[in-house]
Amino acid sequence: MPPPAPAPELRVALLHNYRDEQQPSMRLYAERLGEALDRRGISIARVRAPGVVPDAWRRRSALWSKIDTYAGRYAVYPRLVRKLDADLVHIVDHGQSYLLGELDARRTIVTCHDLILLALAAGRIGGAKVPPVALQVFRVMMEFARRAAWVVADSRQTKADLVSFVGLDPARITVIHPGLNQRFAADPPRGRAWREGRGLGDGPLILHIGRGFYKNIAGTLRVLARLRRDGIDARLARVGHAIAGEDRALAERLGVLPHVAELGAVPDAEIPALYNAVDLLLFPSHYEGFGWPPLEAMASGTPVVSSRAGSLDEIVGDAALTADPEDIDTLAWHAGTVLTDADVRARLVARGLAHAARFDWDRTAQEMIAVYRIVAAGTR
What does the alpha-carbon distance between residue 149 and residue 17 come to, in Å, rounded to a whole number?
A: 20
What does the alpha-carbon distance between residue 9 and residue 41 come to, in Å, rounded to a whole number?
A: 7
- The number of helices, as runs of H, and strands, as runs of E, in the chain is 16, 12
CATH architecture of 188-356: 3-Layer(aba) Sandwich (3.40)
Q: Is the pTM of this model over 0.85?
A: yes
Residues 151-184 as b or e (16 or more Cβ within 10 Å = b): bbbbbebbbbbbeebbebeeeebbbbbbbbbeeb
Which segments of the chain belong to CATH 3.40.50.2000?
A: 11-179+360-378, 188-356
CB 206, CB 235: distance < 8 Å: yes
Query: CA distances (Å), 205 to each of 10, 224, 339, in order?
Result: 48, 10, 9
What does the alpha-carbon distance between residue 194 and residue 203 come to, in Å, rounded to a whole number?
A: 15
Q: Is domain 11-179+360-378 classified as CATH 3.40.50.280?
A: no
Which pLDDT belongs to residue 218? 94
Share of the chain above pLDDT 70, in %: 97
CB-side neighbour CA atoms (13 Å) of 301: 11
Confidence check: pLDDT of 129 > 90: no
For residue 326, give the 3-state DSSP assignment.
Answer: coil
Which pLDDT belongs to residue 1? 43
Confidence check: pLDDT of 2 > 70: no
Each residue of 17-29: pLDDT tens digit? 998 888 888 999 9
Which pLDDT belongs to residue 241? 87
What does the alpha-carbon distance between residue 98 and residue 77 come to, in Å, rounded to a whole number?
A: 10
Task: Name the residue type at position 178.
Answer: P
CB 215, CB 282: distance < 8 Å: no
Per DSSP (E only), the strands in 37-120 are 43-47, 88-91, 108-112
Each residue of 321-362: pLDDT tens digit? 999 999 999 999 999 999 999 999 999 999 999 999 999 999
| DSSP structure class, residue 152 | E
Give residue 55's pLDDT band: very low, low, confident or very high (50, 70, 90). confident
SS (H, E, C) 177-209: CCCCCCCCCCCHHHHHHHHHHCCCCCCCEEEEE
| DSSP structure class, residue 148 | S
Q: What is the mean pLDDT of residues 245-253?
A: 94
Average pLDDT over the chain reads 92
